[in-house]
Amino acid sequence: MRQAWRVARYRFRATFAQRWGGLLAIVLLIGLVGGLAMGAIAGARRTQSSFPAYLERSNSSDLEIGTAFYDPQDGSNTAYNPGIVAQIRRLPHVEQVSDNTGVDPNLLPLAPLNLHTVPGETPPVAGGSIDGENATMDRVTVTSGRLADPNRVDEMVMSASSARELGMHLGSVLKMGFATNEQLQSVGGTNGKGKLTPHVKVDLKLVGIVVFNSEVVEDDIDALADNQVLLTPALMRELVRCCAFYTSTLIKVDGGSRNVPAVQAELARIPDLQGAISSEVVTSTFVTTAERAIAPESVALGVFGLLAALAALLIAAQMIGRQLHVGAEERAVLRALGASPATTLGDGLVGVVGSIVVGAMLASVVAVGLSPLAPLGPVRRVEHAHLSFDWTVIGLGLVGSILVLGAVALALAYRQAPHRRAHRRRSHGSSAARAAANTGFPTPAVTGMRFALEPGVGANAVPVRSAIVGTVLALVVLVSTLTFGASLETLVSHPALYGWNWNYQLLAGFSGQEDLPLPQVTNLLDRDRYVSAWTGVYFGEVAIDGKPVAAIAAGPKPSVAPPLLTGHDFDAPDEVELGATTLAELHKHVGDTVTVNAGQKKPTTLRIVGTATMPTIGDGGSLHTTMGTGALLSYQLIPPAERNTQNSPVAGPNAILVRLDEHANRKVALRSLEQINDTLNTPKGGGGDQAGGVTGVLRPAEIVNYRSMGTTPALLGTTLAVGAVAALALTLVASVRRRRRELALLKTLGFTRRQLAAVVAWQSTIAVAIGVVIGVPLGIAVGRSLWDLFARGIHVVPEPTVPAAAIALIAVGALVLANLVAAAPGFEAARTRTAVLLRAE
């Protein structure tokens, strides 16, 4: 063995000048393609974990609970209660507590506001903290400008949507006054505050645009409600004494979501909280939604990485085999001179294994270099690009590539060892080329087919299989990307597939938080000839088996309801439909029973009769239904006080779901609904601002981010396709150079320059045609499988779409591109001189 090692080292040094080009090619292939694969897989992991990682960096709270509210009708509750905060701080598992106090009901603009709002969008809410909220906990991210000076009262920051609604930009000044709670009580509430004189006046300068951690990944409902203006602690210390209206307390729990239920149980025992707003927001609930929204991008990136890794493995194996094949004749001589099998086996392996190790190390460097491109998706706008070391992927990729490719090199070397080659029958060439010759194909076509399918021997060896494999993989990626993208477009363009099984929603005032006068609504909608069906619904939160669940409440057998997935619609008050995710979290099945408490004294037992694709609908900024989560149940289960939280004089639903006649003109029908909305806001129609506008489709977070998700796989697929085209071009150039003797011989036998160029064109066309025949159907199958997996994961109605026309264009385009790529090598082949052959002979 020692003697074999000495011979291998000597042979490596002696032949390095002749072999360095092939060894460098192995290094570059493994380093670049392997690095791209490792970088993509690491990027997929970073993308999928990006939102939880961002929340951790922002020191996100785990639980938010309303702790104080001022009621201007009787003035019974204060809007800021430090005593409750002190009690919460002493609870077990509570690590940090911060307050966020709202003052927007107390605002008195000193100059006219020109709000730019759309139906369903809430006006900006103003508030801040005196103890570090949004500064030390739930830290905001500055996207433009800077943070406000906490010691100044005249500076503020806000979200981009708030700046758009208010028509402001950096440097703009908002002249604002604030009324005291006692002043609001004197005029009977916020509706009469226009007559008041401000207690506090301040000119607020906008110094920064920020992103709150709650708005990084959000659906359309949250986007409509997530309009925040953040005031400084210096100003808030003055306002909490006189002009605060409500307070939310945010809690960071020791141990995270694991101990949240224990803290919730302790909060329920605090007497002072019984009279406050008791609605809770648990961070882990929207983390799950965010991860589902980000998953398509991470899956697409991960699949691309796996395909790139497979391409690197297969093409590297071909190049390693060719490199070992080049020295086959010399090893046969060594064997004839008495070299042992171990000696001939080791000859050439030293350089190849060294190239594998260097290539794997280069791949690790490339993967790290690509890391600033991740994460993809919505978190990227609040993520600063920086190098990232995913030691799991890089470590496993480094060791795995060395071991796998080393084993491949050893197997190929053993297969090509002289003592094995002596017992192996020689190849008789391509049977396809012989069949083409027998059927009368033109000689250039037969020769090109042979060049495309036969790798050659010795110094004439060409990596033809690499070109074919690269073409197949590129087409698989492109076709699967097209299939997935077409299925995604089908989902996005058919809202019923993700729960919006109607055309429009007529909201109550303040984005559905108030009530619509049901008698007037019934009269107006029943007379509208464009409306085929409608259902009034209430939004709320119920406890199902002790778990908070967003609910849509309606009458049994609703005329308009979310699309059913399994079972049947609820037909009686003792039945309930659930989202598939909610059903799984409750560990229940269709037909089981659950206990539901919506604020009544005694829980109610309901039977689960089906699952539905829950729409994104409800009250923005609070728990609401979305794809896979929520419940559809009878409105009779929700107490009247909970159905009319704003004490509207004429109680009614929070929203009306309207389905139009299938033959109705959408624009005309929309104008008719908008007229109904305006009528409800007149004294004759109900008075006040009882109607909040007509909204179209409200998309879940998964669909909101579909545009960036759709372009990412296409970009990656195109990158791999460009790599495949480059590999094909290099293969053709190598084929022309290595087969110069054959080309010269063909020219001597009478081939014209045009025929020699045709040989190369046929070689390229055959390689790509094989890729089309294999890659297109395989890509369709992969795309459909990925779509079904994605659709099941987000609980939408699965409906894969195959874009036949686009795929056909890709197939034809690949063949055209094959001939374009062959132009330069074909020209070189046509210029081959017969003297090359004569000198060799």
Predicted confidence band of residue 652 (pLDDT cuts 50, 70, 90): confident
Looking at 483-530, which runs of residues are DSSP E strands?
504-508
On the question of pLDDT at 370 being above 70, the answer is yes
pLDDT tier at 798, thresholds 50, 70, 90:
confident
**Is pLDDT at 294 greater than 50 in this prediction?**
yes
Q: What is the C-alpha to C-alpha distance for residues 247 and 439, in angstroms, rounded to an integer?
A: 86
Same domain, 776 and 837: yes
3-class SS of residue 142: strand
Q: Give the separation between CA 116 and CA 15, rounded to whole angstroms.
A: 75
Q: What is the pLDDT of residue 363?
A: 93
pLDDT in tens, 474-489: 788 778 878 887 888 8
Looking up tokens 């808030």 gives 236
**What is Dmax (Cα atoms) for the chain?**
111
Residue, of 311 and 550, whose pLDDT is higher = 550
Let me know whether 685 and 753 are in one domain.
no
Asked if the model's pLDDT at residue 141 lies above 90, the reply is yes
Residue (of 401, 296, 291, 317) closest to 36 by Cα position: 401
The pLDDT > 90 percentage for the chain reads 27
| 609 contacts 570 by C-beta, under 8 angstroms | yes
Rounded Cα distance, 785 and 645, in Å: 47
Q: What is the pLDDT of residue 277?
A: 42
Is the model's pLDDT at 33 over the cut of 80? yes
Length reported for the chain: 841
Q: Which range of residues forms the domain containing residue 200?
A: 64-280
- Please say if the pLDDT value at position 767 is more than 60: yes
Say which residues have a Cβ less than 8 Å from residue 487's Cβ, sequence separation at least 6: 783, 784, 787, 791, 799, 800, 801
Together in a domain, 317 and 378:
yes
Distance CA 767, CA 430 (A): 13
In terms of domains, do 642 and 564 share one?
A: yes
Q: Is residue 220 over pLDDT 60?
A: yes
**Whether residue 577 sits in one domain with residue 507:** yes
Has residue 755 got a pLDDT over 70?
Answer: yes
Indicate if the pLDDT at residue 335 is higher than 90: no
pTM, two decimals, is: 0.75
Q: Of 240, 227, 256, 2, which Cα lies nearest the Cα of 126? A: 227
What phi, psi does 111 have (nearest 5°)? Answer: -140, 150
**Whole-number mean pLDDT of the chain?**
81
What's the pLDDT at 608? 96
Do residues 594 and 519 both lie within one domain? yes
Give me the helices (H) in 240-348, please.
260-267, 283-326, 328-336, 341-346
Q: Are residues 788 and 689 in the same domain?
A: no
Structure tokens at 378: 């919505």
In the predicted structure, residue 689 carries a pLDDT above the cut 60: no
More confident residue, 302 or 46: 46
d(CA 642, CA 274): 15
Backbone dihedral angles phi then psi of residue 500, each to the nearest 5 degrees: -90, 80
- Cβ atoms of 381 and 54 within 8 Å: the answer is no
The three state secondary structure string of 775-803 is: HHHHHHHHHHHHHHHHHHHHCCCCCCCCC
Average pLDDT over residues 201-207: 95
pLDDT score of 153:
95
Phi–psi pair at 535, nearest 5 degrees: -145, 135
Distance from C-alpha of 130 to C-alpha of 128, rounded to nearest angstrom: 7
Q: How many domains does the chain have?
A: 4
Partnered with residue 604 across adjacent β-strands are 596
Name the burial class of residue 461, with classes exposed (0-12), middle (13-18) and buried (19+) by CB atoms within 10 angstroms of its CB. buried
Burial class (CB in 10 A: 0-12, 13-18, 19+), 602: exposed
Among 762, 729, 761, 756, smallest CA distance to 743 is for 756
Long-range contacts of 444-449 (CB under 8 A, 24+ apart): 444/751, 444/755, 444/756, 444/758, 444/759, 444/762, 445/758, 445/762, 447/746, 447/759, 447/762, 448/758, 448/759, 448/760, 448/761, 448/762, 448/763, 448/765, 448/766, 449/762, 449/763, 449/766
Greater model confidence, 771 or 683: 771
Lowest mean pLDDT among 9-18, 28-37, 581-590: 9-18
Query: Structure tokens of 768?
Result: 């790509």
Q: In what helix (H) or strand (E) does residue 404 lie, and over which residues does it extend?
A: helix 391-416
Do 605 and 590 share a domain, yes or no? yes
258-282 pLDDT, tens digit per residue, is: 888 888 888 888 877 754 444 566 6
Q: Which of 280, 304, 336 is the last residue of a domain?
A: 280
What pLDDT score does 667 carry?
92
Ranges 187-191, 373-377, 536-540: which has the least confidence: 187-191
Looking at the predicted structure, is the pLDDT value of residue 543 above 80? yes
What's the pLDDT at 147? 95
What pLDDT is attached to residue 360?
Answer: 93
Which of 379, 403, 424 delimits the end of a domain? 424
CA distances for 772 relative to 339, 448, 768, angstroms: 46, 18, 6
| pLDDT score at 456 | 60
- 115-135: pLDDT as tens digits: 777 777 778 889 999 887 888
Q: pLDDT band for position 189 (50/70/90)?
A: low
The Cα 223–Cα 165 span in angstroms is 12
Say if residue 237's pLDDT is above 60: yes
Query: SS3 of 84, please?
Result: helix
Q: What is the mean pLDDT of residues 384-390?
A: 85
Same domain, 684 and 709: no
| Cβ–Cβ under 8 Å, residues 159 and 214 | no
Q: What is the pLDDT of residue 731?
A: 57
pLDDT number for residue 328: 62
- Same-domain status, 742 and 820: yes
Q: pLDDT confidence of 494, banded at 50, 70, 90? A: confident
Span 519-530, pLDDT tens digits = 889 999 999 999
What span, in angstroms and rounded, lies between the C-alpha atoms of 300 and 307?
11
- Tell me the pLDDT band of 41, cut-offs 50, 70 and 90: very high
Same domain for 751 and 688, yes or no, is no
Confidence at residue 276, expressed as pLDDT on a 0 to 100 scale = 47
The per-residue pLDDT for 544 is 93
Is the pLDDT assigned to residue 776 strictly greater than 80? yes
What is the DSSP secondary-structure string of 700-750?
-HHHHTHHHHHHHHHHHHHHHHHHHHHHHHHHHHHHHHHTHHHHHHHHHTT
Most confident of 217-226, 306-315, 556-565, 744-753: 556-565
Note whether 648 and 582 are same-domain residues.
Answer: yes
Q: According to the model, what pLDDT value does residue 573 have?
A: 92
Write down which residue in 373, 405, 424 finishes a domain.
424
Determine how many CB atoms are found less than 10 A away from the CB of residue 171.
9
Backbone angles phi, psi at 527, to 5 degrees: -90, -5
